[in-house]
Amino acid sequence: MGFWGPTASTVRNYRRLGLRRPPSPTWRTFLRLHSREIWACDFFTVPTLRFQSLYVFVMLSHDRRRIVHFNVTAHPIAPWVWRQIIQATPWGTAPKYLIRDRDTSYGRDFVHRAAGIGIQTILTPVRAPKANALAERVIGTIRRECTDHIIALNEQHLRRVLRAYVTYYNESRPHRSLGLQPPTGPLAVPPRHARQKVVSEPVLEGLHHVYRWAA
C-alpha cells in the first residue's frame, strides 16, 4: 500500500497561514512618520498681461508647511529646475525624501542626480494629485490669496509679488494644522495683563495684513 502525501493545494494553504506578512504602512502613515525629512515640489502657471504663461516652481517642507524655495521662469527646462534644487539645499540642508510628479521638465537624470546629494526621489502615480497633497494645497492657497488678485506684468514683477507673499505666508499667516501659528514658529505673545496696542501692517498693498504688538 503506497503512501499518499498532501496535495499541492493543501501545502499552499498551510504555508499561507504560517507566513503571514505584517500589513504595510499606509501612505498617510509614511508621511506622518517621516514628515521632518520630506519636502515636496510642484509647478503651477500664472498668465501675464500679454497672455504669456509663466511657471512658478515651489518647494515646501512637510513638517511645518514652510515654503523653502520658489522661483519663476518662462522656460522650465531641466537645467533650470536642477539649479533650483541646488539653491534650495545649501550646506547639507537637503531633505531625505522629495515628492514630485512625473513632469518631463525635471529631466531624465533628475533621480540619479538627486541621489548624488542624498535625496531619494518619490515619484507620484500618474493622475494622482492626492499623492502630493501638501504641494497641491499650498499652490491652491497661493492662487486664492495672491496670484488670482494680481495681473503679472513679467517675470520680475511676479517674482517680487510672490517674494512678499511667501514672507507673509511663512512668518505671519496662521495655519490650522499648526495650532494657528505660522510655519516659522510661534508669534510673540505679550504678558497676560499687559495693555499693548495692536498695529496692522499691510502686505501687498493691503491684500493681506500682519498684526503685531506695538513696541
Q: What is the pLDDT of residues 77-129, one digit of tens each?
A: 999 999 999 999 998 899 999 999 999 999 999 999 999 999 999 999 988 88
Which pTM does this prediction carry? Answer: 0.82
Q: Is 90 inside a domain boundary?
A: yes
Residue 1 has pLDDT above 60, yes or no: no
Q: Within a domain: residue 201?
A: no
Residue 210 belongs to some domain of the structure: no
The backbone torsions φ and ψ at residue 137, rounded to the nearest 5 degrees and listed phi first, read -70, -45
Number of residues assigned to the chain: 215
Mean pLDDT of the chain: 88
Q: What is the pLDDT of residue 176?
A: 87
Establish if 139 belongs to a structural domain: yes
Does 186 map to a domain? no
Burial of 186 (0-12, 13-18, 19+ CB in 10 A): exposed
* Predicted confidence (pLDDT) per residue in 35-78, tens digit: 889 999 999 999 999 999 999 999 999 999 999 999 999 999 99
Residue 82 belongs to domain with CATH number = 3.30.420.10
Whether residue 4 is contained in a domain is answered as: no
Question: Residue 125: inside a domain, yes or no?
Answer: yes
Number of domains in the chain: 1
Query: Which of 120, 165, 163, 167 is closest to 141 using CA atoms?
Result: 165
71: in domain: yes
Residue 133: pLDDT band (50, 70, 90) is very high
The range of the structural domain enclosing residue 82 comes to 27-178
> For residue 204, what pLDDT is reported?
92
Distance between CA atoms of 117 and 113, rounded to whole angstroms? Answer: 7
- Angstrom CA distances, 183 to 115, 169, 171, 179, stand at 27, 8, 7, 10
How confident is the model at residue 118, as a pLDDT? 96
